Amino acid sequence: MSKVVERAVFVQLNEYLTDNGLLPRCQSAYRKQHSTETAMLKVWSDALVAADQRQVTLLALLDLSSAFDCVDHSIVLWRLELHCGLTGSVLDWLASFVQQVIYEGRLSHTVSVPFGVPQGSVLGPLLYVLYTAELSKVVTVHGLMLHQYADDSQISIAKTVSNASSGVIRLQECLCQVSSWMSSSRLRLNHKKIEVMWLGSRQQLDKLFVQQVTVVSSPVISSSHLRVIIDSQLSQRTLSELLSSAEADASSHQITVGGRRQDTGAGVCVVPIGLLQLTALRHD
């Protein structure tokens, strides 16, 4: 019964947020007609458009530690009231939702649980999305682009090769402010796992003189964004090698049938999108 009530609240709350444009546009998680594919395609499309304009894209992949467990109840309730206009009995119900549970048919006493959203709940992910909605404002102030899928965040900026150093400075300044915002929101940004890479055509990358960004020791050559292998030159070399390996290991399994995704025994699926073929590693 609790799941039924929670689902009903989720539907009404989500409808209210959608109708009033309160859901963050840069967030692809837990929304209709959004998925890991839309999140990946937004970032990838921006990089390809920049490459067509002879620009290079500096992309930062942020990693959070135990993000859902760090949600501060007082902060999330304050933001729900301030930014979403939730007050009265609605806000009271949400406060009790994060602090009370039903066990063996009995309602628990209110306990002091200041952090975290209920694991496996219907409302928990939506509350996290609303909790981190302000992050887009922090990034756009610096003129950078943000896209998120749940607690995965990607920040990028496109510049010509001659202005690449200014892009690095703006990214560094933005990441400093993002880190401060994360700390004030009780979220833990894992600085050691931040990954930065340049994306662009081979011709433009060969002209690039900025090879290091101080937020990490050096840009990575390839990275995994939402389990999709990204190559810095926007080429299919890494994709082809990965696909060939998968075919060799699972020759009895079909990869694509009629343009639809098909899993292989090696845990690889291929998503044909126009002339660009993206090879995704299934997340077990």
Collect contacts of 260-268 with beta carbons under 8 A, ≥24 apart: 268/242, 268/243
Among 79-88, 184-193, 212-221, which stretch is predicted with the lowest mean pLDDT? 212-221
Residues above pLDDT 90, as percent of the chain = 29
pLDDT per position as a tens digit, 197-234: 888 888 888 888 876 666 644 454 445 555 455 566 66
Residues 283/150, Cβ–Cβ less than 8 Å: no
Question: 3-class DSSP state for residue 81?
Answer: helix
Candidates 274, 268, 242; CA nearest to 256 is 268
Q: Look at residue 132 in the predicted model and tell me its pLDDT.
A: 93
pTM: 0.73
Look at residues 223, 170, 174 and name the one whose alpha carbon lies nearest to residue 199: 223
Q: How many CB atoms sit inside 10 A of residue 171's CB?
A: 23
Q: From residue 36, give the alpha-carbon distance in Å to each of 32, 121, 152, 280.
A: 12, 20, 10, 10
Q: Fill in the DSSP letter of residue 232.
A: T
Stretch (H or E) spanning 239: helix 237-249
Average the pLDDT over each of 60-74, 96-110, 196-210 and give the range with the smallest value: 96-110
> ∠ CA 233-212-161 to the nearest 5 degrees?
55
- In terms of phi and psi (left: phi > 0; alpha: psi -120 to 50; beta: otherwise), the region of 282 is beta
CA distance 179 to 63: 11
Nearest-angstrom CA–CA distance, 235 and 215: 26
CA angle at residue 29 from 176 to 34, to 5 degrees? 125
Residues 6+ apart with CB under 8 A from 193: 63
What is the percent of the chain with per-residue pLDDT over 70, rounded to a whole number?
69
Which phi and psi angles does 101 have, rounded to 5°?
Answer: -135, 160
User: For residues 264 and 253, is the Cβ–Cβ distance under 8 A?
Assistant: yes
Q: What is the pLDDT of residue 28?
A: 86
**What does the block give as tokens for 41?**
């395609």
Do 278 and 40 touch, CB atoms closer than 8 A? yes
Range from 108-122, 185-199, 204-218, 245-259 carrying the lowest mean pLDDT: 245-259
